Each structure stands twice: as C-alpha cells, then as structure tokens.
Amino acid sequence: MHKEGFPLARGKESLTQFKEGEILTVPVKRIGINGEGIGYDRRQVLFIPGALPNELVKVKVTKVERRFAHAELLQVIKPSPERRTPPCPISAECGGCQLQHLSYPAQLKAKEDQVREAFVRYTSLKHPPIRPIIGMEEPWGYRNKGQLQVGMAKGKVIAGLYAAGSHRLVDLSDCPIQHPKVNEAIRKAKEVITEWRLPIYDERKNKGLIRTLVARVSFATGEIQLTLVATEPRLPHEEEVVEELRRRIPHLASISLNVNPGKTSLVFGPTTLLLWGKEKMMERLGEVEYRLSPRAFFQLNPVQTVKLYRVVAEAASLTGSERVIDAYSGVGSIALWLAPDAKEIRGIEEVPEAVADARENAKVAGFSHVHFTAGRAEEIMPRWVKEGFRPDVVVVDPPRTGMGQGMMDAIVRVRPARLVYVSCNPSTLAKNTAYLMEKGYEVKWIQPVDMFPQTAHVECVALMSRVKGMTNKNCLK
C-alpha cells in the first residue's frame, strides 16, 4: 500500500512505469487527503495538486515513487463545473487552503467521500454508517487564531506560512479564512515591529529576536489576545512597543511574550510573560465560558465547534447517571459541554497549563463534579478503574496521528459501554476503529463536520459501543 492505500497491481506490476519529466493527459477521479487531485494512468496513481475530480488534465511527472508518482498541473483540458477562481490571490502559493478553487458544496461532498473511502479501505465495513456532512453557512473568516512565522523579504518584515514543500515564507496580510480582527492585529503588530526595528529571527543563522506572531480573537467578546514569540525574555524599548501596540490594535485585551530560545521547529517555548493586560481571555461556546491562556489549545472555528459538540453530546447520550472520562481534555471544552448531564467527569491532559485552565473553567462554571488531571490517559484510566472509577463513556479527541497502541489497549481494558471518538484524520480514525472492532466494539455511526472550509481537513465524530457479552482477557475487573 502507498500513502493512501490505493489497491494497485501486485508483484512486479506494482512498480510505477512513470518517468520524471514525462508529459501525460490523465482523468482525475477524486480528492486526496491533502487536497490534491488523484489521477490514473495505466491503472497507476498520480497525485496532482490543483486538479479536481471529473477533470481531464495535462501534467508533468515530477517525482516517481515505488507505487505512485507526483505531477505538476500544466493545463486543465476539461475543467470541472465545480472549479472556480480562488478569492485569495495567493492561495496556490501559500498552500494553507488547498480547496479554494472548488465550490463549497463540492468541497463538502469530497470530504464526505474521503471519510467513506477511509472506512472502506481500513475496516471490514463495506457500507459504513456515515451521516451527511455538517457544513458552514458562511465558510469564510472563521478562524479565531493566526499563528504566523515572522521573517524578512526584500528588506520588509513579513508574517505568514511557508509555501508548500519549501522553506520560503509567504506573507499573509489579509487571509480570507481568518477573522478580520486577527488579520488587523497581525498587520498592526508588523508595523510596530518594523518601526521600532525589533530584530527578526533568522533560523539559518540562529540569530535575531522575533520569531512568531500569534493573535487570537474571542468570538464572544471581540477581544484580541496578542503573543509575540521571541528568543529573549525582554524586548528592546519594551514599554514603548507595548504602548504602541495598545494604541494601534482595537479591542486588545493582552500582550504576552513567549520565550523560545532554542533552534527548534516548535512554535512556543516553556515560558510566557504577561507584558500588559489580562492573563487569560474569555471565550464562550453555547452557555459555557472558557478562560484561555496564550498557549492553551482551543478549537479554531467556534461556530462549527458548537455543532461538533452537539454531536458529541448526542453520541454520549448522558442521562445524569453516567461517569465520563475525557481522555484528551485540553482546556476542558468537551468535558464542560457534557457536564450538565453527567454524574461525574474526569479529564486527562498532558499539558499542565491546559489543566490549570480547565480547572479554572470548571470552577467558573460551577461544576464541582468535573475534575482534571495532568498525565497520560493510557496510564491514568486503568489506575482509576482499579480504584473503583469505571467510566460508562470515554471521549477521545487525539491529534492527527490518532490513538497509539497503548491508548487503544487501555480503552479495551477499561471497557466503557460507549466510546465517542472525535477525529481530525479519517485515515487514523478508520485504522483505530478497525482495531477496536476486533476487540469487541461496533460502529453505530460516523458524523463528518467541516471545521475548516477551503482546506482538505475534515473532522468526524464516531460513536462506538461495546458489543454485549464480549469480554477480553485483558479487561480490568
């Protein structure tokens, strides 16, 4: 299997016959997990960025792998009726939005198909119970946070993302999927950095000061939380810089300095200093309020997050008598959403700052039956069961890599009646599901949710239940 698991010919025939530089005319069948078009020639697979399903395209083979090849789109011979001109003039250069050139209804269909194909490919389900995808009424300006690398280009300070497959920084002055207030905060911060001549970090030389700009807006209050990531714990002309940022950025609630001195790809360092304003920003989802420190993870699309959490609540089916474990709890967003209908909820999170935020959020909300613990869920859950706390429901929301073997084995040992799996990667969700099906769980339904319009990403909520009568020798009694 290659990276997407496409069925190809076996044995010697499985080697691709493509040659680098070869010019081909190929039909495109569908969208891949990274937003590229997937075409076929001689029953072999080509990945073609920019191509769309139902198009006939002329391409140049750029890289040949053992079981597939990459190609550059040269010409769209027969365009899809769903193709459109991207509203963002640098969408192809930036690479952050892979699907701006596809109509939004067609994006939703492609994402729903992506989920279905993953389950057919990796599980024994030939007709997986997938519900129609939940899309957005307004699929623009939805991101509440911008996290942009800072660099220099032609003597100017820029902030943006690295172009796909390169280390060239593309300036994002007005990103159409980010909230307008985030765009404004980033622009104004760049102006202040330029005028006060703050040194920009150069990772090749490992010299300089300002590495990253992070701006987050509260959809509830409209306030802005601004964080400068730097290599040192002090800024030159710090008081003046802070005052100028306050003067120029409307609705600014806080300015923080995160210190990241290492030569690393990690955005944040271990220390965050408040330069001015509130230590935490308030956000609201439904009736629940959250306090967010600068480094705290929070869903990037608050509008769709409410829809997602409603699906999570439906899957959990709480009646007031259940014990729940939220195994990747972050700042407690899912746990607090479920809290009104649970007997007790325990959250587990590896990041200590997020645990502190979650505890404060639970206290502010008045939920004395919700508790959060720092650590690894695969270690803590079995210990709780041995101590007498056996969950009826376990909720997991792992990173894109999915659950590791240790976490899946812990779930099998803990034996919750219902498992609610929130996933941002259909492939790892399907692979994890296949294992859990072997261990006595069945899939009730899968609900895709479009959390990131214009991109290739798709979120899912999958409800799994333990088959009655199924036992496992490794289960905890």
Q: What's residue 168's pLDDT? A: 86
pLDDT at 2 over 50: no
User: Across-strand partners of 290?
Assistant: 283
pLDDT-derived band at 410 (thresholds 50, 70, 90) equals very high
Domain(s) labelled CATH 3.40.50.150 in the chain stretch across 120-135+301-466
What secondary structure, in 3-state letters, does 8-54 show? Answer: CCCHHHHCCCCCCCCEEEEEEEEECCCCCEEEEECCEEEEECCCCCC
Count of residues for the chain?
477
Which of these CATH numbers, 2.40.50.1070, 3.10.20.30, 3.40.710.10, 2.40.50.140, describes 145-285? Answer: 2.40.50.1070
Q: What is the pLDDT of residues 436-457, one digit of tens each?
A: 999 999 999 999 999 999 999 9
Mean per-residue pLDDT of the chain: 93
pLDDT at 471 over 70: no
Domain(s) labelled CATH 2.40.50.140 in the chain stretch across 1-83
Active-site annotation holds for 88: no
Domain 120-135+301-466 CATH class label: alpha beta
Q: Could you please report the per-residue DSSP string of 151-208? A: EEETTEEEEEEEPTTS--EEE-SS-TTB-HHHHHHHHHHHHHHHHTTPPBPBTTTTB-
Residues contacting residue 304 through CB under 8 Å, at least 6 positions apart: 134, 136, 142, 449, 450, 451, 459
Model-level pTM?
0.89
pLDDT-derived band at 94 (thresholds 50, 70, 90) equals confident
| CATH code reported for the domain at 1-83 | 2.40.50.140
Q: What is the pLDDT of residues 219-247, one digit of tens each?
A: 999 999 999 999 999 999 999 999 999 99
pLDDT-derived band at 279 (thresholds 50, 70, 90) equals very high
Tokens matching residue 236 = 């030159």
Q: What is the pLDDT of residues 160-179, one digit of tens each?
A: 998 877 778 999 879 999 99
Residues contacting residue 403 through CB under 8 Å, at least 6 positions apart: 396, 411, 428, 432
User: Across-strand partners of 83?
Assistant: 102
pLDDT-derived band at 9 (thresholds 50, 70, 90) equals very low
pLDDT at 476 over 60: no
Q: What's residue 474's pLDDT? A: 53
C-alpha 345/C-alpha 369 separation (Å) is 6
Of the residues 175, 424, 460, 475, only one is catalytic, namely: 424
